Amino acid sequence: MTERTRIILMLAPAFLLLGGVFFSALGLTLLRSFRYMPVIGLTEPDLAAYATILASPGFLGSLGLSLWIAAVSTLTSAGLALAAALLLRQTFPGRRLIGFLFQLNLTVPHVVGAIGILYLFSQSGAFARLAYAGGLIGGPAEFPALVHDPFAVGIILQYVWKEVPFIGLILLANMQAIGEDHEATARSLGATRWQAFTHVLLPMLMPGLIAASALVFAFAFGAYEIPLLLGANAPEALPVLAYRSYTDVDLAARPEAMAMAMIIALIGGAMVLVYARFARPMGRGRHAG
């Protein structure tokens, strides 16, 4: 028996249990999104729930907001993480301490971070009071609305704060695996530092960067608790809208909630496929090194 086969057999019970729970729930959600709910008399599957939500301005607004949150959070986190990883790659006094502080918030739950955003950035928060005390604004209400705002600034701030170290640590691990020989070779052939980065290092980091960004996008798009705490009432992020539809007293709204959940799962699954596509070259590169 090979080592790979032995590992697969050892992990099989956990995979079967988790996979059974996950795919059973997914299958039940899919059936209910097709309006198959015998308990309330729906016994003929159809696509009416999907047609209803796709024609609803509320759903389209929530979908656009969630895509905005996920895209801006991911792009901002990826850019800052890349810059931080390049900085932490260097040797300088205090590097170990800065590296520790950089990854410290990985242990902080998202909900705790959201409460911190509320405390700091809301119009009754610490920064608003400091601005008022310093005479910068006439009252706390004049502070820019960064929480519960239509552009989801507070939500994006929370995700960026949390996900920059996640992507950054992945990039740092990739840089350690790649080493500096490729860049040194490019520099010896006349390339500038910027050219060595853009034409040598960055292309080698892209699989890891895209894979990590895909996971961040999937999480930011499908997360519920942060948009609930920091988001505006209208439009709501799609997961919040789906939950409110699911908990509606009218059971006839359940299929629409399940249809929203399936769309969230579909987009999240697409991001997982992106991760799997780019994680394989990343893994082969580390093995080859």
Q: Is residue 19 part of a domain?
A: no
Mean pLDDT calculated for residue range 138-162 = 87
Which distant-in-sequence residues (6+ apart) come within 8 Å of 57 by Cβ?
A: none
**What is the DSSP annotation of 217-286?**
HHHHHH--HHHHHHS-SSSPPHHHHHHHHHT-S-GGGHHHHHHHHHHHHHHHHHHHHHHHHHHHHHHHHH
Q: Which residue, among 278, 260, 259, has the nearest Cα to 222 in the 3D structure? A: 260
Residue 132 lies in a domain: yes
Task: Answer whether residue 57 is part of any domain.
Answer: yes
CB 168 within 8 A of CB 250: no
Residue 12 lies in a domain: no
* Token representation of residue 22: 């996950």
What integer is the mean pLDDT of 153-164? 92
Does the residue 3 lie in any domain? no
Domain carrying residue 185 = 26-288
More confident residue, 283 or 75: 75
Could you tell me which of 220, 280, 172 has the C-alpha nearest to residue 66?
220
Q: Looking at the predicted structure, is the pLDDT value of residue 289 above 60?
A: no
Number of domains making up the chain:
1
- Reported as a single tens digit per residue, the pLDDT across 170-191 is 999 888 888 888 888 888 888 8
pLDDT tens-digit map of 220-269: 999 889 999 998 888 899 999 988 888 887 777 788 889 999 999 999 88
Q: How confident is the model at residue 73 (pLDDT cuts 50, 70, 90)?
A: very high
Q: Is residue 89 part of a domain?
A: yes
Quote the CA–CA distance of 289 and 285 in Å, as a whole number.
6
Cβ within 8 Å of residue 170, ≥6 positions away? 208, 209, 211, 212
Q: Does some domain include residue 18? A: no
Cβ atoms 268, 222 nearer than 8 A: yes
Q: In the structure, what pLDDT confidence band is assigned to residue 287 with cuts at 50, 70 and 90?
A: very low
Asked if the structure places residue 20 within a domain, the reply is: no
Q: Assign residue 190 the CATH number of its domain.
A: 1.10.3720.10
